[in-house]
Amino acid sequence: MSLNQTVASVTQRIEERSRPRRALYEQHMQEQQRRGVHRAELSCGNLAHGFAACGSGDKDRLKLMNSANLAIVSSYNDMLSAHQPFETFPATIKEAARQMGSTAQFAGGVPAMCDGVTQGQPGMELSLFSRDVIAMSTAVALSHNMFDAALFLGICDKIVPGLFIGAARFGHLPAVFVPGGPMKSGLPNDEKSRVRQLYAEGKVGREELLEAESQSYHSPGTCTFYGTANSNQLMMEMMGLHLPGASFVNPGTPLREALTRYATEQAIRHAESTGNYRPFYKQIDARAIVNAMVGLLVSGGSTNHTMHLVAMAGAAGITITWDDFAELSSVVPSLTRIYPNGKADINHFQAAGGMSFLFRELIDAGLIHADIPTVFGTDMHAYTQEPFLEDGELVWREGPGASLDEDVLRPVANPFAATGGLAVLDGNLGRGVIKISAVKPENRVVEAPVRLFDDQNQLKAAFEAGELDRDVVVVVRFQGPRANGMPELHKLTPYLGVLQDRGFKVALVTDGRMSGASGKVPAAIHVTPEAVDGGPLAKLRDGDVIRLDPDNGELRALVGDAEWQARDNATADLDHHHHGLGRELFAGFRALVGGAEDGASVFGGFDAQALEPTQASRVEQDA
| The pLDDT value given to residue 616 | 45
Name the residue among 359, 355, 324 with its Cα closest to residue 338.
355
| The pLDDT value given to residue 622 | 45
* Residue stretches of the chain with pLDDT short of 70: 36-37, 210, 515-518, 608-623
Return the sign of the alpha-carbon dihedral for residues 390, 95, 134, 372: negative
Question: What global pTM score does this model have?
Answer: 0.93
| The pLDDT value given to residue 322 | 97
| The pLDDT value given to residue 534 | 94
Length of the chain: 623
Coil vs helix vs strand at 607 = helix
Name the residue among 141, 169, 15, 151 with its Cα closest to residue 94.
151
Measured at the CA of 155, the angle between CA 248 and CA 209, to 5 degrees, comes to 85
Q: Quickly list DSSP for 355-369.
A: HHHHHHHHHHTT-S-
| The pLDDT value given to residue 185 | 82
Distance CA(224)–CA(218), nearest Å, equals: 10
66 backbone dihedrals φ, ψ, rounded to 5°: -105, 15
| The pLDDT value given to residue 588 | 95
| The pLDDT value given to residue 490 | 83
Other residues' Cβ atoms within 10 Å of the Cβ of residue 520: 18
pLDDT tens by residue, 544-602:
999 999 999 999 999 999 999 999 999 999 999 999 999 999 999 999 999 999 999 99
| The pLDDT value given to residue 518 | 59
Distance CA(543)–CA(190), nearest Å, equals: 34
> Strand pairing partners for 222?
182
Assess whether the previous peptide bond of 244 is cis (omega < 30° from 0). no
Percentages helix, strand, coil for the chain (3-state, rounded to 5) are 45, 15, 40
Distance CA(406)–CA(408), nearest Å, equals: 5
| The pLDDT value given to residue 473 | 97
Distance of CA 340 to the CA centre of its chain: 16
| The pLDDT value given to residue 224 | 85
Distance CA(466)–CA(281), nearest Å, equals: 55
